[in-house]
Chains A and B, each alone.
Chain A
Amino acid sequence: MKLKSVLCAATAVGLLAAANAQADTITIATVNNGDMIRMQGLTDDFTTKTGHKVEWVTLEENVLRQRVTTDITTKGGAFDIMTIGMYETPIWGKNGWLVPLNGLSEEYDVGDILPAMANGLSYDGTLYAAPFYGESSMIMYRTDLMKKAGMEMPDAPTWEFIRAAAKAMTDRDAEINGICLRGKAGWGEGGAFITAMSNSFGAQWFDMEWNATFDQEPWKKTLTFYKGMMDESGPPGYATNGFNENLSLFQQGKCGMWIDATVAASFVTNPKDSTVADKVGFALAPDTGLGKRSNWLWAWALAIPAGTQKTDAAKQFIEWATSKSYIELVAAKEGWANVPPGARTSLYENPNYKDIPFAKMTLDSILSADPNNSTVNESPYVGIQFAAIPEFAGIATEVSQEFSAAYAGQQSIDEALAKAQAITNDAMEAAGYR
């Protein structure tokens, strides 16, 4: 094991650094995902290396977003590092609210960051946030149930196949639902899923004049297909299920297939939490043959708000948390399956990581996602499961509420789409696009 030497070297470097710099206490706002919780647990390693102390503010995703956005727009300065996503980074970077992440150390090897991630976290060629972990979405399915249904999952299935397979796997008496998908209102929940899915059906949010396009056929096809499939084979109450609810269901063995974030792969294959850990297979997110798949691209990244007094310490932390040696640190403590995925090229070249069953499919999914060219027809925006404009979060949350109501049967798909069209156009007009 080379862990020991890594740690020794790291400590030596750390001691030197600690001797030189003054010790600061930095405040970091982060989301309560497993990887971040793990990072918190390893903070001592950072403190011994640099002497800086860390105060954590860990919040649930929605609360975190609300909290950091309020703080950055008012220049509140409550945090020295914020955990933000691919949606916020370019918008905030453009407004000059973030410290550009240049001048990172040689050892950090910024070129090693997956290009897809680096692009999504940059504005105008400057990196504004370093990816802690990155994800796309893919199919996770139960190999045993698939076999029982007498079907075989191709590496790159179509939606038609998924629907048929879901139907075949469903066994209501045994409480097995063929497919679990997000339906929960919120732009980052069901909104993200349906947007990514709609791309593969040829739909898009805006046309080149920034008009909403919910009145057009592809959206109707997407929603009709989604609702039809979920009513046939989805779990009860799917209109309120988000990532966590579905993860829970899958871990309990109540889902045949689940299309969601690639990071979930390590949770569903972890025997400690999952009852189906050894029966999970992976495949690329489905398509309809139009040339776009329905997988998204996302990264949770660390950024430094402009105006903090502790830029140096914050930068040191970011270098620590998103470095290669951090990955090795986690691997040594928790095993390779639990390292933060999707951020660095070198991870996928590491022989230790190649044995991880979901490694290849994760990388393939990430590589097949292109935020700059996400829709079948030309679109004016960047982003796959979102459009990187400030108004999107608000609009998409409202629109996804209408969709959720349609999934629940409280209104028809046509009604939901008509409302979505009105909401979107109204908001875009208010923002001065049209």
Chain B
Amino acid sequence: MARSVSTRRKALNTLIAWTIGLLIFFPILWTILTSFKTEAQAINDPPIFFFFDWTLENYAVVQERSDYMRFLWNSVIIAGGSTLLGILIAVPAAWSMAFVPSKRTKDILMWMLSTKMLPAVGVLYPIYLLFISLGLLDTRIGLMVVLMLINLPIIVWMLYTYFKEIPTEILEAARMDGATLKEEILYILTPMAIPGIASTILLNIILAWNEAFWTLNLTAAQAAPLTAFIASYSSPEGLFYAKLSAASTMAIAPILILGWFSQKQLVRGLTFGAVK
């Protein structure tokens, strides 16, 4: 609903919006700034904003204590793997729900969403026992599967709403022209669905990256991702704001960067079929 407005109005809008935007972003900015301070400067009264002695010492300390790359790599594999797995399973399901709807389609969708309401801690023991007997404890594949299952309802639903937006007339026209199912999916559906799939993937990666209950409880040394990395910094001894900030920055930086680069995609895509 972009309309032409006076420059004054635009300036005012800009001022208000940026003030609020910076306010919302401030905690993250503050964390990043603090990570470059010494511990003493981090708790200085009054707080110092920019004019402190910038140091990388905290990052060095954190890196020396724990092998960041290993946690990062696990996070990447687990978040990426679970997303890929989820998409592979969800695309056919969402496709059939959108294009061959039945009376029960909506019920099935709602039921899928309701599986997400199972409180994780209530089923910790059952899942843990299951993982032991399947030999999945502390494996990346085990976590991928769990995170995939957790997010599958969301993926299916998002894809379903995207697919529904695709006009069925096109598909029917293609069928008239004798396109096979494979061709239909490959050449007609896929190009139209790609933006939707992309934002689904993005959202899912973010959700998987930030999941902190299962990733912490089902891992030990081999498969531990960044959530476990952070758990070793949550209350170290003594002055720790700067080190905590450095560890936090390291943990969120990759996903923050990914999010920033794909911001357009996210803004365009996160609709859940809400647009109409």
Contacts and interface: CB of A to CB of B under 8 A. Distances in A.
Do A and B contact each other directly (Cβ–Cβ < 8 Å)? yes
B37 to A, nearest CB: 15
A244 B238 contact: yes
B9 interface: no
A55 B222 contact: yes
Contacts of B23: none
A244 B241 CA distance: 12
B238 A273 contact: yes
A230 to B, nearest CB: 21
Contact of A33 (B137, B221, B231, B237): B237
Nearest to A273: B238
Interface in B220-273: 220-222, 224, 228, 231-240
B237 A247 contact: yes
B40 to A, nearest CB: 8
A59 B217 contact: no
B contact residues, range: 20 to 34
Interface string A242-260: 1010011001100000000
B contact face: mostly helix, strand, loop, or mixed: loop
Most buried by A among B220, B222, B224: B220
A57 B221 contact: yes
A34 interface: yes
Contact of A58 (B222, B232, B238, B240): B232
Nearest to B65: A37
Given A37-B65, A59-B231, A60-B232, A74 B129 contact: yes
A248 B238 contact: yes
B239 A251 contact: yes
A59 B231 CA distance: 6
Nearest to B232: A58
B128 A70 contact: yes
B217 A67 contact: yes
Given A70-B125, A74-B125, A60 B235 contact: yes
A309 interface: no
Nearest to B40: A275
B56 interface: no
A77 B237 contact: no
Nearest to A61: B235
Contacts of A33: 236-237
Contacts of A70: 124-125, 128, 217
Contacts of A251: 238-239
A32 B128 contact: no
Interface string A224-244: 000000000000000000101
Nearest to A270: B238
A66 B124 CA distance: 11
A29 interface: yes
A333 interface: no
B237 A78 contact: no
A78 B236 contact: no
Given A32-B232, A59-B228, A60-B231, A267 B220 contact: no
Given A37-B65, A40-B65, A59-B232, A29 B217 contact: no
A71 B217 CA distance: 9
18 contacts: A41-B64, A55-B220, A55-B221, A58-B66, A58-B232, A61-B235, A63-B231, A66-B217, A70-B125, A70-B217, A74-B125, A76-B137, A78-B138, A244-B238, A247-B238, A248-B240, A273-B39, A273-B239
Interface of B: 39, 43, 64-66, 124-125, 128-129, 131-132, 137-138, 216-217, 220-222, 224, 228, 231-240
Top 6 nearest A-B pairs (CB, nearest first) are A55-B221, A78-B220, A58-B232, A60-B234, A244-B235, A32-B232
Interface of A: 27, 29, 32-34, 37, 40-41, 55-61, 63, 66-67, 70-71, 74-79, 242, 244, 247-248, 251-252, 267, 273-274
